[in-house]
Chains A and B, each alone.
Chain A
């Protein structure tokens, strides 16, 4: 499942799931541009790539900045080549019970998690249409399908990504471009490590495979959807959650 031909753009690649995705795609031969919100984060991505012998670079990107998104995609096109593989991974949480949720918390999550998918996908589509091939992979979440108290904003954004992917898949299928979603369950990252022990145990009891997922579990699913072998899969949501939710 070589990804040699791909130029991959992975947002939110400095840590967690995004980092694992960027490294996995890179190890399979893709040229990877990983984005981070800070200069230091972008530099660290570049250093990790160098150490691993991965082709590519780290770049600074705020996915809520429309001008910044367009400028980045243009400069990648000029310097390296238009991305043929886009992984919309960057995201944030602002958890709160809906009764207490501030409009800013709602807006920030929708903007960073969902509006960003619109911006990035739109910017990358031109190159993919010309190339008559492309892969767009959104990283959603099980909570976008199952719901979760305290995460109405996050779940709405993640469910929105799924509807977006299905619609775009219908629009651009005739041009050899597939659009899919990976919905991670509970993955062992900084975010889930912050949970209290009793909540963590309750969570584990609800997962048939009896463990939290690794970031690599998600990265492997993304690499599969990016591969030629997955060429007939589009508009699909791939749940990677140890069985905690079965769609």
Chain B
């Protein structure tokens, strides 16, 4: 497991209050992890802080699964 993947999953666990084993890479924040729309906004905020970056709104809207978050970070910061 890459370092980025671990860090992303840790943030998802903290932000959404879910168990580690629920946070599979394919998990959807809303459909699988019970996030509401405000949770997803907060999740992006937390990712921005963890990785010290700014994720534009139009990109943030496309991040709906754990894998997409990992991919975004890898592509833009990795």
Contact = CB atoms under 8 A, between A and B. Distances in A.
B45 A171 contact: no
Main SS of chain A's interface residues?
helix
B45 A174 contact: no
B45 A172 contact: no
Interface in A139-184: 171-172, 174-175
Contacts of B38: 171-172, 174-175
Interface in A174-229: 174-175
Q: Main SS of chain B's interface residues?
A: helix
A126 interface: yes
A129 interface: yes
A234 to B, nearest CB: 15
Nearest to B39: A174
Contacts, number: 8
Contacts of A130: 45
Interface string B46-61: 0000000000000000
B28 to A, nearest CB: 20
Contacts of B42: 129
Nearest to B42: A129
8 contacts: A126-B45, A129-B42, A129-B45, A130-B45, A171-B38, A172-B38, A174-B38, A175-B38
Instruction: Sort A-B residue pairs by CB-CB distance and give the 8 closest, nearest first.
Output: A129-B42, A126-B45, A171-B38, A174-B38, A129-B45, A175-B38, A172-B38, A130-B45
Given A126-B45, A129-B42, 5 more contacts: A129-B45, A171-B38, A172-B38, A174-B38, A175-B38
